[in-house]
Amino acid sequence: MNTPAPVYAGMDISRNTLELSLQGKAFEFSHDAPGCASLLETLNALKEPVQVICEATGGWERPVLCALHGGAVAVSVINPRLARDFAKAAGRMAKTDHIDAQMLAEFGRLMQPPPTQAPSPMQQELCAWVTRRDQLQAILQGEKTRLIPGLPNSVLKDLKASIKRLERQLQKIKKHLEHLLSSCTELSEKAKRLQAFQGVGPATTATLLGHLPELGTLSNQQIAALAGLAPFNDDSGPRRGVRRIAGGRTSVRCALYMAALSAARCNPVLKPFFERLRSKGKPHKLAIIATARKLLCALNTSLANPSFSPCL
């Protein structure tokens, strides 16, 4: 028996409202529990299966995504840049919530993106704490750069107190992340396999498991692109442009870059790989990015294949 094709609904998410475009009709719901309940009621009233297309909004989409996944409604979260480029390609230069919802529905109908899997509660908590750790590290770095000569003693005292407070918070978060990774059997096993590779420490492991849950489920080419480590061609006719990385998840790429710096110094396999690239005249940054990509592919293979023996 063939599964019927889904009806694609576009949903524009803002802080206070949800704008839905469904079968050419526009609906507006409040972005709260009652509004999410009304949204589910509207979607479930259809006889055909529905797939909702929405954009990532930096976290504001979490409540409605939780409601949709809880109601067994398929939902795809796409990159806002892709949605905007699609609208421009369709000649829709104007931008309103209603237009965005319409274009998301059309994007779903033509592109048919795969549904986004619902994260487990443990995965959600891990991702949130990794994000919080990164936020505090950025604030701490900013406070340290403000320790310049000539400041009044009262200001210096306040800055130093702020730095100590942030360092204590980061230590607490570090311990909490270790507890999260050890308390979940699945995450604990993954963490052990990742840290079996020289250059991958607890901080990198938490970032990968928190912000790249697809690790081990995609091909090496797909995971490299998702992390922003895949070089893309820039050719036209006889011209052969420089291949460059683009897009991807910034936090994951930064974590792998730092891991590659360590691996290029001590990893028995990646160190010769890095040195071979440098001996061929490759720039230092290019060689590090290539090392990070090779490391990521090995990590991806390790999680995908439990029998894979880490040799890096």
57 burial class (0-12, 13-18, 19+ CB within 10 angstroms)?
Answer: middle
The radius of gyration of the chain from alpha carbons, rounded to an integer in Å, stands at: 23
Instruction: Give the β-pairing of 7-13 and 50-55.
Output: parallel
pLDDT at 309: 67
Residues 76 and 134 in one domain: no
Residues 88 and 135 in one domain: no
- Of 88, 111, 134, the last residue of a domain is 111
Residues 308 and 200 in one domain: yes
pLDDT at 247: 87
As for how many domains the chain has, the answer is 3
Query: Is 188 inside any structural domain?
Result: no
- The stretches in the chain having pLDDT less than 70 are 1-3, 309-312
Query: Is 101 inside any structural domain?
Result: yes
pLDDT at 126: 96
Residues 53 and 163 in one domain: no
Residues 11 and 86 in one domain: yes
Residue 99 vs residues 54, 86, 108, 227: alpha-carbon distances, Å: 13, 12, 14, 30
Query: Is 208 inside any structural domain?
Result: yes
Query: Is 67 inside any structural domain?
Result: yes
pLDDT at 308: 75
Q: Give the residue among 240, 233, 228 at the shortest CA–CA distance from 292.
A: 228
pLDDT at 312: 60
Q: What is the DSSP letter of 302?
A: H
Residues 292 and 233 in one domain: yes
Query: Is 297 inside any structural domain?
Result: yes
Contact 20, 101 (CB under 8 A): yes
Segment 129-153, tens digit of pLDDT: 999 999 999 999 999 999 999 999 9
Amino acid at 224: A
Residues 173 and 136 in one domain: yes
Segment 80-94, tens digit of pLDDT: 999 999 999 999 999
Amino acid at 10: G
Query: Is 2 inside any structural domain?
Result: no
Say how far apart CA 12 and CA 283 lie, in whole Å: 43
pLDDT at 119: 87
What are the helix (H) ranges across the chain? 33-44, 62-70, 80-89, 97-111, 121-145, 153-183, 185-195, 202-211, 220-226, 250-266, 270-279, 284-304
CATH number of the domain at 46, please.
Answer: 3.30.420.40
Query: Is 218 inside any structural domain?
Result: yes
Residues 150 and 244 in one domain: no
Say how far residue 210 (Cα) sits from the centre of its chain: 9
Range 146-155 burial, b when 16+ CB lie within 10 A, else e: eeeeeeeeee
Contact 263, 270 (CB under 8 A): yes
**With the C-alpha atoms ordered 220, 226, 231, 234, is the resulting torsion angle positive or negative?**
positive
Contact 101, 21 (CB under 8 A): yes
Contact 42, 31 (CB under 8 A): no
pLDDT at 306: 77
- The residues, any chain, with a CB within 8 Å of residue 233's CB and separated by 6 or more, are 241, 243
Q: Which domain holds residue 173?
A: 120-183
Residues 232 and 304 in one domain: yes
Residues 107 and 129 in one domain: no
